[in-house]
Copies of this chain bind each other. A is one copy, B any other.
Amino acid sequence: MRKIWKGNFVYTPNPTTLCIEENKYIIVEDGLVQAIVEQCPPGEPYEDLGDGLVLPAFSDTHIHGPQYPMAGLGMDKELLPWLETYTFPMERRYEKMELAERLYKRFFQDLWLHGTLHISAFTTVHKDSAFRFMELMDEAGIGGYAGKVNMDRNSPEFLQEEAEQTLADTEELIERAKALHHVRYILTPRFVPSVTEKVMTALGQMAEKYDLPIQSHLSENKGEVEWVKALHPTSSSYTDVYDSFGLLRQDKTVMAHCIWLDKKERQTLKEKGVWFAHCAMSNLDLASGIMPLRDYMDEGQRCTLASDIAGGHAMAMPRNIVSTIQAANMKTVETGCPRVSFTEALFLSTKGSGAFFGKTGSFEPGYAFDAIVTAPIEPDHPLTFTRKEQVEKFIYGYESGQIEKRYRNGVLLERPFA
Protein backbone atom coordinates (compact mmCIF):
# COMPACT_ATOMS: atom_id res chain seq x y z
CA MET A 1 0.00 0.00 0.00
CA ARG A 2 1.42 3.32 -1.13
CA LYS A 3 0.47 6.60 0.54
CA ILE A 4 1.67 10.16 0.11
CA TRP A 5 1.33 12.97 2.61
CA LYS A 6 2.15 16.64 2.20
CA GLY A 7 3.45 18.56 5.21
CA ASN A 8 6.25 20.27 7.09
CA PHE A 9 8.44 17.35 8.13
CA VAL A 10 10.83 17.82 11.04
CA TYR A 11 13.27 15.15 12.20
CA THR A 12 16.77 14.60 13.52
CA PRO A 13 18.82 12.08 11.53
CA ASN A 14 21.62 12.56 14.07
CA PRO A 15 21.98 14.37 17.40
CA THR A 16 23.15 17.65 15.91
CA THR A 17 21.04 17.97 12.77
CA LEU A 18 17.50 19.31 12.71
CA CYS A 19 16.02 18.66 9.27
CA ILE A 20 13.04 20.80 8.36
CA GLU A 21 11.44 19.86 5.06
CA GLU A 22 8.78 22.48 4.44
CA ASN A 23 5.86 21.79 2.14
CA LYS A 24 7.31 18.50 1.01
CA TYR A 25 5.77 15.14 0.15
CA ILE A 26 6.55 11.96 2.02
CA ILE A 27 6.14 8.68 0.15
CA VAL A 28 5.27 5.72 2.34
CA GLU A 29 5.06 2.10 1.17
CA ASP A 30 3.53 -0.48 3.48
CA GLY A 31 4.04 1.83 6.41
CA LEU A 32 7.70 2.54 5.68
CA VAL A 33 9.15 5.85 4.51
CA GLN A 34 10.55 5.69 0.98
CA ALA A 35 11.52 9.29 0.45
CA ILE A 36 10.68 12.92 1.09
CA VAL A 37 10.38 14.77 -2.21
CA GLU A 38 9.81 18.32 -3.45
CA GLN A 39 6.98 17.49 -5.83
CA CYS A 40 4.20 14.96 -5.62
CA PRO A 41 4.79 12.32 -8.31
CA PRO A 42 2.50 13.30 -11.21
CA GLY A 43 -0.97 11.81 -11.12
CA GLU A 44 -0.67 10.36 -7.63
CA PRO A 45 -3.09 11.39 -4.88
CA TYR A 46 -1.84 12.80 -1.60
CA GLU A 47 -3.25 13.92 1.71
CA ASP A 48 -2.38 17.36 3.06
CA LEU A 49 -1.40 17.36 6.76
CA GLY A 50 -1.87 21.12 7.00
CA ASP A 51 0.34 23.94 8.17
CA GLY A 52 1.44 22.49 11.50
CA LEU A 53 4.52 20.35 11.92
CA VAL A 54 4.93 16.64 11.30
CA LEU A 55 7.36 15.14 13.79
CA PRO A 56 8.34 11.55 14.48
CA ALA A 57 6.16 10.09 17.23
CA PHE A 58 7.89 9.88 20.60
CA SER A 59 9.27 6.82 22.34
CA ASP A 60 9.50 6.34 26.11
CA THR A 61 11.96 3.69 27.25
CA HIS A 62 10.94 3.52 30.91
CA ILE A 63 7.41 3.98 32.19
CA HIS A 64 5.38 2.38 34.99
CA GLY A 65 1.84 1.99 33.64
CA PRO A 66 0.20 1.32 37.01
CA GLN A 67 1.75 4.38 38.64
CA TYR A 68 0.12 6.81 36.25
CA PRO A 69 -2.83 7.70 38.49
CA MET A 70 -0.42 8.91 41.17
CA ALA A 71 1.58 11.19 38.87
CA GLY A 72 2.45 14.35 40.78
CA LEU A 73 1.77 12.93 44.23
CA GLY A 74 4.32 12.86 47.02
CA MET A 75 7.01 14.47 44.92
CA ASP A 76 8.70 15.95 47.95
CA LYS A 77 9.72 12.51 49.21
CA GLU A 78 12.89 10.65 48.29
CA LEU A 79 12.89 7.43 46.31
CA LEU A 80 12.67 4.78 49.00
CA PRO A 81 10.06 6.46 51.26
CA TRP A 82 8.12 7.45 48.14
CA LEU A 83 7.98 3.80 47.06
CA GLU A 84 6.68 2.72 50.48
CA THR A 85 4.12 5.49 50.87
CA TYR A 86 2.72 5.90 47.38
CA THR A 87 3.96 3.42 44.85
CA PHE A 88 3.51 0.05 46.48
CA PRO A 89 -0.03 0.73 47.82
CA MET A 90 -0.97 1.99 44.34
CA GLU A 91 0.45 -1.07 42.61
CA ARG A 92 -1.44 -3.31 45.00
CA ARG A 93 -4.72 -2.11 43.54
CA TYR A 94 -3.98 -3.75 40.21
CA GLU A 95 -4.73 -7.13 41.67
CA LYS A 96 -8.35 -6.29 40.86
CA MET A 97 -8.84 -6.84 37.17
CA GLU A 98 -11.76 -4.54 36.67
CA LEU A 99 -10.06 -1.56 38.26
CA ALA A 100 -6.79 -2.36 36.47
CA GLU A 101 -8.57 -2.37 33.15
CA ARG A 102 -10.25 0.98 33.76
CA LEU A 103 -7.01 2.61 34.87
CA TYR A 104 -4.93 1.09 32.09
CA LYS A 105 -7.34 2.28 29.42
CA ARG A 106 -6.92 5.81 30.69
CA PHE A 107 -3.16 5.36 30.61
CA PHE A 108 -3.19 4.37 26.94
CA GLN A 109 -5.60 7.14 26.05
CA ASP A 110 -3.14 9.65 27.46
CA LEU A 111 -0.12 8.08 25.74
CA TRP A 112 -2.08 8.45 22.51
CA LEU A 113 -2.99 12.04 23.42
CA HIS A 114 0.66 12.96 23.90
CA GLY A 115 1.93 11.11 20.84
CA THR A 116 4.08 8.52 22.59
CA LEU A 117 3.66 5.49 20.37
CA HIS A 118 6.42 3.19 21.65
CA ILE A 119 7.04 2.36 25.29
CA SER A 120 8.96 -0.05 27.45
CA ALA A 121 6.60 -0.55 30.36
CA PHE A 122 6.63 -1.99 33.84
CA THR A 123 3.29 -3.28 35.09
CA THR A 124 2.84 -4.91 38.53
CA VAL A 125 3.45 -8.38 39.93
CA HIS A 126 -0.09 -9.46 39.06
CA LYS A 127 -0.01 -11.89 36.17
CA ASP A 128 -3.48 -11.45 34.79
CA SER A 129 -3.73 -7.70 34.97
CA ALA A 130 -0.19 -7.47 33.55
CA PHE A 131 -1.37 -9.45 30.56
CA ARG A 132 -4.48 -7.30 30.27
CA PHE A 133 -2.11 -4.31 30.09
CA MET A 134 -0.32 -5.94 27.18
CA GLU A 135 -3.56 -6.70 25.37
CA LEU A 136 -4.82 -3.15 25.81
CA MET A 137 -1.48 -1.76 24.65
CA ASP A 138 -1.73 -3.93 21.56
CA GLU A 139 -5.32 -2.86 20.94
CA ALA A 140 -4.37 0.81 21.35
CA GLY A 141 -1.72 0.37 18.67
CA ILE A 142 1.13 1.33 20.99
CA GLY A 143 4.30 -0.56 20.12
CA GLY A 144 7.14 -1.84 22.26
CA TYR A 145 7.58 -3.96 25.34
CA ALA A 146 5.87 -4.66 28.62
CA GLY A 147 6.46 -7.07 31.43
CA LYS A 148 5.12 -8.10 34.79
CA VAL A 149 7.53 -7.13 37.55
CA ASN A 150 9.38 -9.76 39.56
CA MET A 151 9.58 -9.05 43.31
CA ASP A 152 10.47 -11.89 45.64
CA ARG A 153 12.41 -10.20 48.43
CA ASN A 154 12.44 -7.00 50.51
CA SER A 155 8.99 -6.02 49.28
CA PRO A 156 5.79 -5.20 51.11
CA GLU A 157 3.98 -8.36 52.12
CA PHE A 158 1.07 -7.57 49.81
CA LEU A 159 3.31 -7.49 46.73
CA GLN A 160 6.01 -10.01 47.54
CA GLU A 161 5.99 -13.19 45.47
CA GLU A 162 7.39 -16.68 45.89
CA ALA A 163 10.37 -17.39 43.66
CA GLU A 164 8.76 -20.39 41.95
CA GLN A 165 5.53 -18.54 41.36
CA THR A 166 7.03 -15.41 39.88
CA LEU A 167 9.06 -17.52 37.48
CA ALA A 168 6.10 -19.65 36.47
CA ASP A 169 3.95 -16.57 35.96
CA THR A 170 6.66 -14.92 33.89
CA GLU A 171 7.05 -17.93 31.65
CA GLU A 172 3.30 -18.17 31.19
CA LEU A 173 3.14 -14.52 30.10
CA ILE A 174 6.02 -14.97 27.68
CA GLU A 175 3.95 -17.65 25.96
CA ARG A 176 0.70 -15.70 26.03
CA ALA A 177 2.38 -12.57 24.68
CA LYS A 178 3.35 -14.37 21.49
CA ALA A 179 -0.19 -13.83 20.20
CA LEU A 180 0.12 -10.03 20.33
CA HIS A 181 0.86 -7.87 17.30
CA HIS A 182 2.66 -4.75 18.46
CA VAL A 183 3.81 -5.78 21.91
CA ARG A 184 6.59 -8.08 23.03
CA TYR A 185 7.32 -9.43 26.47
CA ILE A 186 10.27 -7.88 28.32
CA LEU A 187 11.77 -9.43 31.44
CA THR A 188 11.26 -7.02 34.31
CA PRO A 189 13.07 -7.73 37.56
CA ARG A 190 12.09 -4.63 39.55
CA PHE A 191 15.58 -3.85 40.80
CA VAL A 192 18.30 -5.78 42.58
CA PRO A 193 16.98 -5.24 46.13
CA SER A 194 13.62 -6.84 45.34
CA VAL A 195 14.74 -9.94 43.44
CA THR A 196 16.51 -12.99 44.90
CA GLU A 197 19.60 -14.47 43.31
CA LYS A 198 17.57 -17.52 42.44
CA VAL A 199 15.10 -15.49 40.41
CA MET A 200 17.77 -13.31 38.81
CA THR A 201 19.60 -16.46 37.72
CA ALA A 202 16.47 -17.98 36.23
CA LEU A 203 15.50 -14.74 34.45
CA GLY A 204 18.95 -14.56 32.90
CA GLN A 205 18.42 -18.07 31.57
CA MET A 206 14.92 -17.27 30.33
CA ALA A 207 16.27 -14.27 28.46
CA GLU A 208 18.56 -16.56 26.48
CA LYS A 209 16.01 -19.30 26.03
CA TYR A 210 13.33 -16.99 24.60
CA ASP A 211 15.66 -14.29 23.21
CA LEU A 212 14.03 -11.55 25.27
CA PRO A 213 14.90 -7.98 26.13
CA ILE A 214 15.34 -7.02 29.78
CA GLN A 215 14.51 -3.87 31.71
CA SER A 216 15.31 -2.78 35.23
CA HIS A 217 16.57 0.08 37.40
CA LEU A 218 20.23 0.85 37.99
CA SER A 219 21.89 3.25 40.39
CA GLU A 220 19.16 5.85 40.83
CA ASN A 221 19.69 6.94 44.40
CA LYS A 222 22.67 6.86 46.75
CA GLY A 223 20.72 5.03 49.46
CA GLU A 224 19.68 2.40 46.95
CA VAL A 225 23.31 1.94 45.80
CA GLU A 226 24.39 1.38 49.40
CA TRP A 227 21.61 -1.12 49.88
CA VAL A 228 22.70 -3.12 46.85
CA LYS A 229 26.27 -3.11 48.13
CA ALA A 230 25.09 -4.49 51.48
CA LEU A 231 23.04 -7.20 49.78
CA HIS A 232 25.85 -8.24 47.42
CA PRO A 233 29.10 -7.54 49.24
CA THR A 234 31.20 -9.67 46.89
CA SER A 235 30.03 -7.87 43.72
CA SER A 236 32.22 -5.03 42.56
CA SER A 237 29.25 -2.80 41.75
CA TYR A 238 25.50 -2.55 41.19
CA THR A 239 26.15 -3.09 37.47
CA ASP A 240 28.22 -6.14 38.28
CA VAL A 241 25.30 -7.75 40.12
CA TYR A 242 23.11 -7.61 37.01
CA ASP A 243 26.00 -8.72 34.84
CA SER A 244 26.79 -11.71 37.00
CA PHE A 245 23.24 -13.03 36.53
CA GLY A 246 23.28 -12.58 32.76
CA LEU A 247 20.88 -9.66 32.92
CA LEU A 248 22.97 -7.35 30.72
CA ARG A 249 22.18 -9.09 27.45
CA GLN A 250 24.19 -7.76 24.52
CA ASP A 251 22.23 -4.80 23.04
CA LYS A 252 18.97 -5.98 24.66
CA THR A 253 18.90 -4.51 28.16
CA VAL A 254 17.53 -1.10 29.10
CA MET A 255 18.43 0.32 32.51
CA ALA A 256 16.62 3.29 34.00
CA HIS A 257 18.51 6.12 35.72
CA CYS A 258 22.22 5.08 35.69
CA ILE A 259 23.13 8.07 37.82
CA TRP A 260 25.86 7.03 40.24
CA LEU A 261 28.04 4.80 38.06
CA ASP A 262 31.78 4.42 38.40
CA LYS A 263 34.16 4.25 35.46
CA LYS A 264 34.29 0.49 35.36
CA GLU A 265 30.50 0.20 35.35
CA ARG A 266 30.32 2.64 32.44
CA GLN A 267 32.82 0.53 30.54
CA THR A 268 30.85 -2.66 31.16
CA LEU A 269 27.58 -1.04 30.12
CA LYS A 270 29.14 0.29 26.96
CA GLU A 271 30.61 -3.09 26.04
CA LYS A 272 27.26 -4.77 26.60
CA GLY A 273 25.43 -2.15 24.54
CA VAL A 274 23.07 -1.43 27.42
CA TRP A 275 20.46 1.27 26.75
CA PHE A 276 20.39 4.08 29.30
CA ALA A 277 16.87 5.31 30.00
CA HIS A 278 17.51 8.84 31.18
CA CYS A 279 14.66 10.02 33.39
CA ALA A 280 15.49 13.71 33.67
CA MET A 281 12.15 14.86 35.06
CA SER A 282 12.33 12.15 37.68
CA ASN A 283 15.88 13.28 38.54
CA LEU A 284 14.54 16.80 39.07
CA ASP A 285 11.44 15.65 40.97
CA LEU A 286 12.85 13.04 43.34
CA ALA A 287 16.25 14.68 43.92
CA SER A 288 17.98 11.34 43.35
CA GLY A 289 20.82 13.00 41.45
CA ILE A 290 21.34 13.99 37.83
CA MET A 291 22.46 11.53 35.20
CA PRO A 292 25.54 13.01 33.45
CA LEU A 293 23.92 12.89 30.02
CA ARG A 294 26.54 15.05 28.29
CA ASP A 295 29.37 12.77 29.44
CA TYR A 296 27.50 9.60 28.52
CA MET A 297 26.64 10.86 25.06
CA ASP A 298 30.23 11.93 24.50
CA GLU A 299 31.59 8.56 25.57
CA GLY A 300 29.22 6.77 23.20
CA GLN A 301 26.66 5.27 25.55
CA ARG A 302 23.26 4.46 24.11
CA CYS A 303 21.22 7.25 25.66
CA THR A 304 17.43 7.34 25.45
CA LEU A 305 14.73 9.39 27.18
CA ALA A 306 12.03 8.20 29.54
CA SER A 307 9.29 9.74 31.64
CA ASP A 308 9.64 7.24 34.51
CA ILE A 309 6.00 7.84 35.34
CA ALA A 310 5.37 8.36 38.25
CA GLY A 311 8.93 9.12 39.40
CA GLY A 312 8.60 11.97 36.93
CA HIS A 313 5.30 13.81 37.14
CA ALA A 314 4.40 14.19 33.44
CA MET A 315 4.13 11.61 30.68
CA ALA A 316 4.18 14.06 27.75
CA MET A 317 7.55 13.75 26.03
CA PRO A 318 7.75 17.45 25.10
CA ARG A 319 7.86 18.18 28.84
CA ASN A 320 10.45 15.46 29.31
CA ILE A 321 12.57 16.95 26.52
CA VAL A 322 12.55 20.27 28.35
CA SER A 323 13.45 18.51 31.60
CA THR A 324 16.31 16.77 29.81
CA ILE A 325 17.78 20.08 28.71
CA GLN A 326 17.21 21.57 32.16
CA ALA A 327 18.80 18.66 34.03
CA ALA A 328 21.78 18.81 31.67
CA ASN A 329 21.99 22.55 32.36
CA MET A 330 22.24 21.80 36.05
CA LYS A 331 25.15 19.49 35.31
CA THR A 332 26.74 22.34 33.34
CA VAL A 333 26.30 24.69 36.29
CA GLU A 334 27.88 22.05 38.55
CA THR A 335 30.80 20.90 36.39
CA GLY A 336 31.12 23.39 33.54
CA CYS A 337 30.54 20.65 30.94
CA PRO A 338 29.02 21.70 27.61
CA ARG A 339 25.24 21.90 27.47
CA VAL A 340 22.86 19.48 25.77
CA SER A 341 21.18 21.27 22.88
CA PHE A 342 17.54 21.40 21.91
CA THR A 343 18.27 19.34 18.80
CA GLU A 344 20.11 16.70 20.79
CA ALA A 345 17.23 16.34 23.23
CA LEU A 346 14.71 16.10 20.40
CA PHE A 347 16.89 13.45 18.75
CA LEU A 348 17.05 11.46 21.99
CA SER A 349 13.26 11.43 22.36
CA THR A 350 12.66 10.25 18.78
CA LYS A 351 15.37 8.44 16.84
CA GLY A 352 17.59 7.90 19.88
CA SER A 353 14.91 6.22 21.99
CA GLY A 354 13.21 4.69 18.98
CA ALA A 355 16.31 2.64 18.20
CA PHE A 356 15.51 0.43 21.19
CA PHE A 357 12.30 -0.61 19.45
CA GLY A 358 13.41 -0.78 15.82
CA LYS A 359 13.21 1.68 12.96
CA THR A 360 11.03 4.38 14.46
CA GLY A 361 11.71 8.01 15.32
CA SER A 362 12.96 9.40 12.03
CA PHE A 363 11.67 10.05 8.52
CA GLU A 364 14.72 8.64 6.77
CA PRO A 365 14.06 5.91 4.20
CA GLY A 366 13.26 2.57 5.80
CA TYR A 367 11.81 4.06 8.98
CA ALA A 368 8.22 3.35 9.94
CA PHE A 369 5.96 6.33 9.31
CA ASP A 370 5.28 6.84 13.04
CA ALA A 371 4.36 10.49 13.24
CA ILE A 372 2.49 13.21 15.04
CA VAL A 373 0.90 16.24 13.42
CA THR A 374 0.82 19.41 15.50
CA ALA A 375 -1.72 22.22 15.48
CA PRO A 376 -0.52 25.15 13.38
CA ILE A 377 0.45 28.47 14.98
CA GLU A 378 -2.76 30.49 15.23
CA PRO A 379 -3.34 32.19 11.92
CA ASP A 380 -4.04 35.56 13.55
CA HIS A 381 -0.85 35.69 15.62
CA PRO A 382 0.65 39.15 15.18
CA LEU A 383 4.15 37.73 14.64
CA THR A 384 5.56 35.16 12.27
CA PHE A 385 7.80 32.40 13.53
CA THR A 386 10.33 30.41 11.54
CA ARG A 387 9.72 26.67 11.33
CA LYS A 388 12.62 26.12 13.73
CA GLU A 389 10.97 28.52 16.17
CA GLN A 390 7.68 26.68 15.72
CA VAL A 391 9.41 23.45 16.73
CA GLU A 392 10.79 25.14 19.84
CA LYS A 393 7.39 26.62 20.65
CA PHE A 394 5.70 23.24 20.25
CA ILE A 395 8.14 21.58 22.66
CA TYR A 396 8.55 24.36 25.25
CA GLY A 397 4.96 25.54 25.08
CA TYR A 398 3.40 22.10 24.89
CA GLU A 399 -0.15 21.73 26.18
CA SER A 400 -2.50 18.76 25.92
CA GLY A 401 -4.45 18.99 22.72
CA GLN A 402 -1.69 20.42 20.54
CA ILE A 403 -1.22 17.13 18.74
CA GLU A 404 -3.91 16.78 16.10
CA LYS A 405 -3.14 13.41 14.53
CA ARG A 406 -0.96 10.36 15.11
CA TYR A 407 0.16 7.73 12.61
CA ARG A 408 1.76 4.38 13.29
CA ASN A 409 3.22 2.36 10.43
CA GLY A 410 1.41 4.78 8.14
CA VAL A 411 -1.99 4.17 9.71
CA LEU A 412 -4.02 6.90 11.39
CA LEU A 413 -4.47 5.98 15.07
CA GLU A 414 -7.88 6.73 16.50
CA ARG A 415 -8.29 7.48 20.21
CA PRO A 416 -8.38 4.07 21.86
CA PHE A 417 -11.27 2.81 24.01
CA ALA A 418 -13.31 5.87 23.11
Contacts and interface: CB of A to CB of B under 8 A. Distances in A.
Interface of A: 69, 71-76, 93, 99, 102-103, 106, 284-290, 313-314, 322, 325-326, 329-330, 332-334, 339, 341-342, 382-383, 389, 392-393, 395-397, 399-400
Contact of A73 (B325, B333, B393): B393
A382 B330 contact: no
Question: A-side binding surface: helix, strand, loop or mixed?
Answer: helix
A285 B326 CA distance: 6
B325 A76 contact: yes
B396 A399 contact: no
B396 A76 contact: no
Considering the complex of A and B, which 5 residue pairs feature the smallest CB-CB distances, nearest first?
A72-B396, A287-B329, A284-B326, A313-B396, A102-B382
Given A99-B382, A103-B382, A339-B76, A284 B330 contact: yes
Nearest to A106: B382
A332 B285 CA distance: 12
Contacts of A326: 284-285, 326
Contact of A334 (B69, B99, B334): B334
A69 B383 CA distance: 8
Given A287-B332, A383-B69, A397-B314, A392 B99 contact: no
B75 A393 contact: no
B75 A396 contact: yes
B75 A397 contact: no
Given A326-B285, A339-B287, A399 B399 contact: yes
